[in-house]
Structure formats: C-alpha cells, structure tokens
Chains A and B, each alone.
Chain A
Amino acid sequence: MRLLCCYLSILFRSQMQYRTSFWLLATGQFFLPFTTLAGIWFLFDRFGSIRGWEFPEVAICFAVIHMAFAISECFARGFDTFSSLVVSGEFDRLLVRPRSTILQVLGSRFEFTRIGRLAQSLIVLIWAIAHASIDWTLLKGCTLVLMILSGTIIFAGIFILSATMCFWTVQGLEVANILTDGGKELAQYPLQIYERWVVRFFTFIIPFGCVNYLPLQYLLGRTDGHGLLYALTPLGGLVFFIPCLFIWRIGVRHYRSTGS
C-alpha cells in the first residue's frame, strides 16, 4: 500500500510538470461526455421515457458508470497499456522485483487527466439525485457509493483480463474495447431496456447489471420486498474481480519474454 502511494505521488508530480497540457486535457475530458448526455437528453425530449425509465434515473446510471470508468481508467491505465510493457520486454524487469506483478503494473501508469471526466459525472450525478424521486436513507447512500466502487472494480477487472491476453498475443486486442468502452456505452442506460440475452450476459458474466439496474431499482424503491438483496448486488463486482486475478496469475506463468 505504501509502495502504491509512492507510485502515485511520483507519477502525479511527473504529470504536473506539464501543467498547461494537463489542465487542457482535463478540461477536454470534462466536456467530452457532454455531447453524449445531450444526445440522451434530446432523445428523452422527443420520446418522453424509455421503457418506463425517466431521464433523471437514466442520468444516475450514466453518471455512475462514467465515474466508475473514469476512476478505473485513471488507476488501471497500466493494464490498458500493458501490451507496450510486453512488447518492449520491460515486463521482465517487473518479474525480478520482490513485489507482486499486479501492484507494479498498476503503478506503472496513472492518468490523472481523467479527473475532468470525474468532475463532469459528479455534477451530473448531483443533478440527477436532486431530480429523481428518491427517499434517501443511509443504506441507499451506501449502495450508491458501492455502485461506483464496484463499477470501478469491474472495469479494472476487464482491463486486467485484456492485459492478460497480451501474454499470448503480445499485441493488444481491440476486441477488448467491446467490454470496456462498449460496456460503458451499454450501461449508460438501465440494462433492462436491452434484449434478454444481453441483460443476462451483462448481469451474470460481466456483472454490469450489479451496478446498474438492480441497485437502481432499490434506490427508486421498486423492489417489492427483497430490498436488502438488491442493495447488496453491487458486491457482485467484487466476485467478478477474483477470477480475473486468477487468470492473470495463469497468464504470468505462461509469460515468455519477447527477448527485445
């Protein structure tokens, strides 16, 4: 943990060396999702609702998933760019150090400019909470925080999975984007609006549903009875993370240096 903080502060200071560039990129990240949100808003303007969901409710989904994505892109960026470590042979160096590989790859890169996107999602979230009809309780607050955390962990898990593929393919695969960017795109809306098989896949295999429509139903008080069960669904994200770590370990054992 202390090592991680050390990595964090080093990379933060190094990125702050280019201060203007940093703020420019951060502002860019701030404005980028606005057009998407505007698009969603215009659609609601025309159609009113989507399968019974109102705009503020969808905005909660949108904000939660974008926050989760921003945080995990900031911290798990090392896994996202992992193929460069493998290609250049840098990974050999990580292997001989007496620390876990996960920690070191994690610490190899942080993208602090994502703070812009985080701020944007935060504003959206506050707006949405103010406009959605939710009777807040302590447990609901916890659920909301859990949704964001668990979303972050799910994205991190996917980043790790796609990085693991590099052990076999060397090059990064664009297909993994389906799960990261695609997942983000998909989970902007409550998953229930999609086809049955999509909902199943993204609830039981990649558990976006656990940070999306399941706990949201609890927040909105639409759970008829099993409230607590719905409130705890975000923990599903943690369950997803464990096999990802296992697969990573298998991958590391399969690793053969490129020799360069």
Chain B
Amino acid sequence: MSTGSRLSRSAGTTPVRSPDNRHRLSDKRPPRNPKRYLSVFRIRFTSSLQYRTAALAGVATQFFWGFVLIMVYIAFYSSSDLEPPISLPQLVTYVWLQQSFLAFIMLWYRDDELFRLITTGNIAYELCRPGELYGFWYAKLLAQRMSGALLRCLPILVAASFLPSPYRMMLPPDFLSGVLFIISLLLGLLVLVAISMFIYISVFYTMSPYGSLLMFTVVGEFLAGMIIPVPLMPEWLQDVVYLFPFSWTADFPFRVYSGHFSRTEAAIGILLQLVWLVVLVTTGRRLMLRALRRVVVQGG
C-alpha cells in the first residue's frame, strides 16, 4: 500500500501545462494537491477489494492456465535437443509470474465506466471536478490494477512455489535481483497504465472503444510476450518487440526476476522504462488536453 500511494502521487504531480480554459466547465482551478489523487486511489482500491469471490475464481482459472502453458512448454522442450534460449525453470517462473500479475500486464483489463462517461457525455461531471483529468483517471486505473493483483498474486505465488519439481516456481537467484524485480515490476505497471490511457483517449475521437481496444490488445499482448515469451520468439521478431513499450511492462520484470537478464542489463532496462514512462505520460496528457478542448457535451 505504501509503495502504491507513493506511485500515485508521483503520477499526479507531473507538471501541468496551462490548459485552454475556454471549454473547461470550471475555470477556477484550486491549487493542485497530490492528496486528491491519493484519495481517488484509496477509494478505488478498497472498493475493488470487495470482490473476493470473483478473485478466488480468478485464482483458480489462472492456476489452471499456468499449468496448461507449462505443460505445453515442457512438451516442446523435451522434443528438441537444441540449447533453448531460456532454461525451463526460468520459463516456468516466467509463466507463474505472468499468471499472478495478470492484472498488472493485461491491456484488456478495462474500466467500462470511463468509456461510458465519454460516450454518454457524462464526462461533463468529471470536468467539473477539481484536478486534472489525466492524473485522476490514471490514479483510478492504477488502483484497480493494484487491488486486482493484490488479491490474486499471493495465493498463486505461494502455491506455485510449493509445487512438485518441474512446475515449481523458483526464488530469485539473489536478493538484489529480487529488489530489481520489484522496481521493474512497479515501473512496468506505471508504463502499462500510461499505455492504457491511450485507449481511453482514443475513445474521445472514435466514440467506440471496441476498435482501439481490440487493436491494442491483439498487438500489445503479442509484443508483451503474453502469447509466447519474448525469449522464445525468433530473433527478428525480438528486435521488433524491443522497439515498442509493451515488452517493458511484462516481459522485462519477469526476466529480471529469474536472472535471465544480468544486473547491468536490468539497470539499463529500468532506465529505459523510466524514459518510456515520461514519454508516454507527456504525450498522453497532451493528447488528452487536445481531445478535451474539442469535446462537445450534448445536453440532455
């Protein structure tokens, strides 16, 4: 929780370019206060924690899924004697991490409420709220994902580390990789939320979320290594993958955890994550301001 709140605050205090006030419904802007975003975060977080049964069902599903994937990889590994680019225990760990932090890395994990706000015109109420919309929504989405993962990750992680041999999830090779993993995972989450903001922003232009959602999820999930892990892709495809921000959200932290990346590689990667985060958040905010400027709220 403490790390979460720190994150949401940093998301809220990114510098604000003076917005065009003509079409703002309120032009009296109170002084920006990071606490606001924090409380949005807290409310969302606790309300999402209510759905415990759903989370339990989710855990069962993900557990099953992880099993299936691992069995497929084991079968593949046993039918070739070539040296694979990632060892089986590392891959198994990769799969379990993917399953436990699904809420951190799935692009389709969406908030239909926000879509409805835009398409029904209720966005007007949102604009009346003090505070900037980007930070506000960012905190909301972040909280949703954090609570979703919090409920699900622990049972899966614990159970997976007590499984019999080929299925067991290993611990990180040393303490430092564990720390680097946590840093990169949280940064990855921030990057992912920044990416998903683009889906919501695009709805301002297209008015229907399905097209962009579909595109983002199909392309994004593949490039993030959700269909097959990035190290198992052919070389040329890996080069393509690294050009996009998606692999930094899911693939990178998991490989840091299993020690597939060396420490220096991990450190450089974390820097790159930061760069991506800044780039995505600034362009996202600029696009959103532009979209809001041309927003037309219909009466009724």
Contact = CB atoms under 8 A, between A and B. Distances in A.
Contact of B80 (A31, A48, A177, A193): A48
A39 to B, nearest CB: 4
A36 B221 CA distance: 10
B65 A39 contact: no
A173 interface: yes
A47 B80 contact: yes
B79 A42 contact: no
Interface in B32-85: 54, 57-58, 60-61, 64-65, 68, 71-72, 75-80, 82, 84
A252 interface: no
Contacts of B211: 24, 28
A28 B214 contact: yes
Contacts of B222: 35, 38-39
A47 B77 contact: yes
Given A24-B211, A193-B71, A195-B71, A48 B79 contact: yes
B16 interface: no
B61 A46 contact: no
Interface in A13-54: 21, 24-25, 28, 31-32, 35-36, 38-39, 42-43, 45-52
Chain B interface size range = 20 to 34
Contacts of B64: 178, 182
23 contacts: A21-B208, A24-B211, A31-B218, A35-B222, A36-B227, A42-B234, A43-B232, A45-B234, A46-B232, A47-B76, A49-B79, A50-B75, A50-B76, A51-B75, A51-B78, A52-B79, A174-B58, A177-B61, A178-B61, A182-B64, A185-B68, A193-B71, A198-B71
A189 B58 CA distance: 24
A25 to B, nearest CB: 7
A27 to B, nearest CB: 9
A182 to B, nearest CB: 6
B210 interface: yes
For chain B, what secondary structure do more than half of its interface residues adopt (helix, strand, loop), or is it mixed?
helix
Nearest to A25: B210
A174 B54 contact: yes
B51 to A, nearest CB: 11
Interface string B260-275: 0000000000000000
Contacts of A31: 214, 218
B237 interface: yes
- Point out which of B208, B218, B221 has the most chain A C-beta atoms below 10 A from its C-beta: B218
Contacts, number: 84
Interface residues of A, number: 33
Given A28-B210, A174-B54, A182-B64, A194 B71 contact: yes
Contacts of A24: 210-211
B171 interface: no
A182 B68 CA distance: 8
A42 B68 contact: no
B156 to A, nearest CB: 14
Contacts of B296: none
Contact of B61 (A42, A175, A194): A175
A193 B237 CA distance: 27
Interface string B141-172: 00000000000000000000000000000000
A186 B71 CA distance: 10
B226 to A, nearest CB: 9
A25 B210 CA distance: 8
Given A175-B60, A178-B61, A193 B72 contact: yes
B233 interface: yes
Interface string A47-65: 1111110000000000000
A39 B228 contact: yes
B227 A39 contact: yes
A42 B57 contact: no
A109 to B, nearest CB: 18
B68 A186 contact: yes
A47 B80 CA distance: 6
Interface string A175-187: 1011000100110
A21 B82 CA distance: 47
Contacts of B78: 51
A177 to B, nearest CB: 6
- Nearest 5 A-B pairs (CB), nearest first? A174-B57, A39-B227, A193-B75, A39-B228, A47-B80
Interface string B215-249: 00010011000011000111001000000000000
B188 to A, nearest CB: 21
Contacts of A182: 61, 64-65, 68
Nearest to B63: A178
Given A47-B76, A50-B75, A51-B75, 9 more contacts: A24-B210, A35-B218, A39-B222, A42-B234, A43-B232, A46-B234, A47-B80, A182-B64, A193-B71
